[in-house]
Amino acid sequence: MAITVQLDDLLHARRMTLTQLAERIDLTLANASILKTGKAKAIRFSTLEAVCRELDCQPGDLLRYEPD
């Protein structure tokens, strides 16, 4: 897929675990893991907003387009 998720990098930079983020944005750890590994096929704007709020980032910091 041409869209990659940079969640791991953002979590590392913020010294936050995936579990902490999932709890803060009321997302199951399983769904957070799917997002982190790039296996998600979609993301709700409300989830994207919550991630950006907690990580103090912009959507473009989280998602990257890399053509094949």
**Is the CB of residue 1 less than 8 Å from the CB of residue 38?**
yes
Domains located in the chain, CATH noted: 3-65 (1.10.260.40)
Q: What is the pLDDT of residues 30-61, one digit of tens each?
A: 999 999 998 999 999 999 999 999 999 999 99
CA distances from 48 to 27, 34, 37, 65, 68 (A): 11, 14, 15, 16, 24
This prediction has a pTM of 0.89
Amino acid, single-letter form, for residue 48:
L
